[in-house]
Amino acid sequence: MSELLATEKPGADPIGARRTFAIIAHPDAGKTTLTEKLLLFGGAIHLAGAVKARGENRRARSDWLKIEQQRGISVSTSVMNFEYEGWTFNLLDTPGHEDFSEDTYRTLTAVDSAVMVLDAAKGIESQTRKLFEVCRLRDMPIITFVNKIDRESRDPFDLLDEVASTLALECVPANWPVGMGHDFRGCYDLFGKRLLLVGKDNKNLEPEVVILDNGLDDPRVADYIPEAQLAKLREDIELIQGACPAFDVEAYRQGHMTPVYFGSALKNFGVDELLKGLGRFAPPPRPQPSSARMIDPREKPVTGFVFKVQANMDKNHRDRVAFMRLCSGHFKRGMKLRQVRSGKPITVSNPTLFFARDRSLAEEAWPGDIIGIPNHGTLRVGDTLTETEDLRFTGIPNFAPEILRRVRLSDPMKAKHLQRALEDLAEEGVTQVFRPRLGSDWIVGLVGPLQLDVLAARLAEEYNLEVGFETAPYETARWMSADDPRDVDQFVEQNRANIADDRDGAPVYLARNAWELSYTEKKSDKIRFHATRERS
């Protein structure tokens, strides 16, 4: 392991030095606090504990929408770029609430690895499991951070067993807590043979570090850890060495093994070690799947795909920014890229790098980087941009909504304004929008009820539209396909009362309930009904 740590340092290779990762967690596991502390250790911000501060500083850097600030939750993916010890990190902070799982899924298509945050008192929770399953579909490497060990917690071995059995991952502790809760004294770094001890001043970012020549056999250990805790620590480490496999970087990068860091984001413990672990072990930009082939990041032509669109980041300018993951090539400001969907060239004159809502002009970017492209509705989620080749990146679907609601305007004279607003927010992925073939009402489709609050809040705040939602006579939606497109046309004509168009004009079958959907599927043997649709 020591040889690995010595060789896994970034060099002059800008692609090899990139680490693009997402943070996934159940709500209240401490994800936002950890995000902030990673930025703090990386030198990107200079105010510790901004989440707990007062006034303007109370807002977490990654939570910039008004509703996020009011509720203290993340409902929109934020992108933050920073450098640390020669590595360039692109951190994507995802919504933790399950009602925003579609935004999280799209974000996970744009990263190369993930950090899974667990509450030490709760372990694996329902949303953690769902997000992990998405990572599993993409064989995504995961580093586990067990947070809040300075509070009363479950036994760390129980937590390892739960991760191993529930998520089918081999667990290898990178460090180990010395006491937990009120007895927490620090961590023992298994990879570096160091003691990281709680400093006298809890506000001090740097824990007291003791480098041990012979691990826990070093006689100085007794000067720092009480006898009973030291005996327990030695017993734990002996059990780890006998029960856990040796850490294998390739097994981790293939998604089979997870290094586990114990820490306290609030008290700054384990955060620095986690950041260094991401740099040393997490994969550099990985090949991306396309309709033509896997695109290697070291190919010279520039390629990338849009995984998110955000409108009104700056309310004064009513702007619209497409977030593009760069997949290959060396991008330079002013380049002309081809939008594959339309076939039209786009000159990227003002690309931006992000720090939540703040931006800086990007003169260049490399594979793994996330750049923002200001536009006026030209780019949408799923778009591919290339320098030369005609290809399309795959794996960014729409999901069938679980909630369908009619939209009611308080002022019917603003109907056209509502249409533009809903189309904007649909292209962001805030909602799905359906226009029934019969009737004039708009129907919005969402994954969870909290999205309705976000939708209403953003329509009011950004578009000055007061809306209400009514129960629609439908329960679910399905896209359709057939070997012969004429069969779809015939089905649509025969079922016009249940047909709507999505934002791309694709026909969608709206079912009143599960029984009606099942019955329709059985009697329409030429039609295939899909719960997902690849974004075009």
Domain boundary pick from 363, 386, 409: 386
Its domain, for residue 327, covers 288-386
Determine the 3-state secondary structure of 93 from DSSP: strand
User: What pLDDT is attached to residue 288?
Assistant: 94
pLDDT in tens, 213-254: 788 888 888 988 999 999 999 999 999 999 999 999 999 999
| Residues 443/500, Cβ–Cβ less than 8 Å | yes
How many whole angstroms separate alpha carbon 535 and alpha carbon 394?
8
Beta strands in 205-272 (DSSP E): 208-211, 257-262
Domain assignment present for residue 225? The answer is no
Residue 267 and residue 356 share a domain: no
Number of domains in the chain: 3
152 shares a domain with 91: yes
Are 81 and 58 in the same domain? yes
β-strand partners of 77? none
* Residue 196 falls inside a structural domain: no
Residues 302/329, Cβ–Cβ less than 8 Å: yes
The Cα–Cα gap between 198 and 206 comes to: 9
**Same domain membership, residue 366 and residue 269:** no
378 located within any domain: yes
- Residue 513 CA to residue 511 CA, distance in Å, equals 5
Phi, psi angles (nearest 5°) of residue 439: 100, 165
Backbone φ and ψ for 145, nearest 5 degrees, come out as -120, 110
Strand partners, 176: 188
Q: What pLDDT, on the 0 to 100 scale, is given for residue 300? A: 96
Q: In this predicted structure, what is the pLDDT of residue 53?
A: 36
Task: Mark whether 311 and 409 lie in a shared domain.
Answer: no
Tell me how far apart the alpha carbons of residues 84 and 42 are, in angstroms, rounded to a whole number. Answer: 5
Residue 232, domain member (yes or no): no
Domain assignment of residue 115, yes or no: yes
- Clarify whether residues 347 and 257 are in a common domain: no
If asked whether residues 40 and 161 sit together in one domain, one would say: yes
Q: Which of 205, 179, 198 is nearest to 268 (CA)?
A: 205
In a domain, 235, yes or no: no
Q: How much is the pLDDT for 96? A: 52
Contact 331, 357 (CB under 8 A): no
- Cβ–Cβ under 8 Å, residues 373 and 365: no
Query: Is there a single domain that holds both residue 419 and residue 381?
Result: no
Which residues in the chain show pLDDT less than 70? Answer: 1-11, 44-77, 95-102, 200-207, 312-319, 355-358, 535-536
SS3 assignment, position 82: strand
Are 464 and 528 part of one and the same domain?
A: yes
Residue 139 lies in a domain: yes
Same domain, 366 and 510: no
Instruction: Please count the other Cβ atoms lying within 10 Å of the Cβ belonging to residue 496.
Output: 10
Q: Which of 333, 357, 386 is the last residue in one of the domains?
A: 386
**Looking at the structure, do residues 421 and 342 belong to the same domain, yes or no?**
no
Beta-bridged to residue 311, according to DSSP, are 320
End of a domain among 256, 281, 306? Answer: 281
- The single-letter DSSP state of residue 207 is -
- On whether both 330 and 456 belong to a single domain, the answer is no
Assign residue 326 the CATH number of its domain.
3.40.50.300
Q: Is residue 447, in this structure, part of any structural domain at all?
A: yes
Q: What is the pLDDT of residues 445-462, one digit of tens each?
A: 887 777 788 888 889 888
Say which residues have a Cβ less than 8 Å from residue 485's Cβ, sequence separation at least 6.
Answer: none
Q: Minimal CA–CA distance to 360: which of 47, 81, 138, 8? A: 81
Bridge partners, residue 89, by sequence: 19, 82
CATH of the domain at 492: 3.30.70.3280
For residue 428, give both structure tokens. Answer: 């962001």
